[in-house]
Structure 1
Amino acid sequence: MSNNRLIMIVVDALRFETACSHMGFMQHLVEQGKVARYEVKSEVPSLSRPLYETILTGTPPLVHGIVGNGVVRLSTQESLFHLARRSGKTTAAAAYYWVSELYNHAPFRHGVDRIQLAKDAPIENGLFYFEDHYPDSHLFAEAQWLVSEKNPDFLYIHPMNVDDDGHKFTANSVQYRNRVLATDALLALTLPKWMDLGYDIIVTADHGMTVDGNHGGNTTNDRHVPLFIASKKVKPIVQNQIVSQLQMAPLACHLLGIHPSEAMVPLLIPGLVD
């Protein structure tokens, strides 16, 4: 039985094609019948801040209003953090500071908001970084600290180094591909421990990355990202049909055992266990 606890990992700018070719550990979990794999089509514009909000609220940019990276304000929607707290669950995040600006405080106060513990806020315990090159290895260590010390029911993890290398070197670069390999290695060190603790796991991305070293448009490389799910509530097979990114929030609600918001679309993702 599921413990109705979830760790959601959003690897910034991890495009579907590279995830399939370079995430050997994740593919190993697929082949061993532990994880389901999907292809997700993101909303547009395929930019970070709008899609953080889409993933966490289940609403498109035209509804939630975060239509570009320059829109700096708190969310007006019911996020997974809000819904989890309302259901009596505990929340945490190890993430880029834009996530704090969406759900805890905007604008981000560098001297105050870096470490947020035991807060009466949607994200109860948050560790937020504000440099794109902040090491993913440090972020996963902080996520492990949150698991060990705070034992959250819902933990959101958001590493940035894949996006950073994509912008610096393009998606068609050794650096981008090697960074995806490094991310896969971090997942190999942490996911088995978290799965043993009874967590369901989602690994996905906000958007992809192009050979121009950018994103925001309507191409497959901009929009198509992976979705890996480790849960007894989902059949551990490769699904061939493309899934809307609007399914991510209601899927998370399903795994957490909480009611989705009225703004979320119905959960129609294939492969759910009855």
Structure 2
Amino acid sequence: MEINVFRLCSGLRVLGYFMILLVAAIIGVTYYAVVVVTWGPKLLGGGFHSFLAFAIIIKFHVLLILLLWSYFRVVFKDPGSVPENWRPDPTEENLEVGTSLAAADDGFQRRPRAGYCIHCQNGKPPRCHHCSVCQRCVLKMDHHCVWVVNCVGARNYKFFLLFLLYTFLETTMDTIVLLPSFINFFSEAKSHSSTPANLAIIFLAFVLNLAFALSLLCFLVMHASLLSSNTTSVEVHEKKGTVRWKYDLGRRRNFEQVFGTKKTLWFLPLFSEEDLNNIPALRGIDFPTRSDVEA
């Protein structure tokens, strides 16, 4: 019996649902350690410690809200699906044929060639890739993330980056504010000044947040580099060997193709209607190249 390996990959979606539960569990443990056990009780003490506790708890909740908002936007937002029976614009196909020689001289095409997906039996716009887990083509696919049970693509990449950013800031802050309690862990365990359950939760929360902060820093640096050159994780190998990546329009334009032009919304998991209408890259079908900008 023939086994479809790509079909088996769809089983990874089940793992993703456990990841969502794991995220909820980590948030719950951290909330209890930071707010309930460590800093919440200091609100009633008065003086500087009370003010510091208030500031920490407010910052904790603000980052948590932004983190969860971005997270659920990544989970529930369609990264971009190819319209049924999609075909490239015939005028663009003619333009591509007519300019192929000039494009070859420049080292890149004026209009990247559209493809065809044998799995979906449908056309593939430029930068579109088939996801073996989701069993569909995703517009400007970056990767499939088991943590969000979804693909990261053209229409939710901004939300994914904000989720990474706010999770990094939250876990870094949690690590710092739990550090004094972690340092006193062994002395408090010997003196029995705290219950074993609270000590275990503080210890676990500190270790988890430290581990996530360090790992997320690596992801942030990687995706910041990809964002600055307008490259996806899938396109890294394709980009190698090129003099300059054909989608690299300059750092500012590259940033706006993901975050939009409205500065007030850059750090919120939202897009303005104006940006959605005026920036084709946010819709995931059409992407300008260097030749378009420099022409």
Higher relative contact order (CA 8 A, sep 6+): 1
With normalisation by structure 2, the TM-score equals: 0.24
With normalisation by structure 1, the TM-score equals: 0.25
Q: Which has the larger radius of gyration?
A: 2
- Structure number with the higher helix fraction is 2
- Structure number with the higher strand fraction is 1
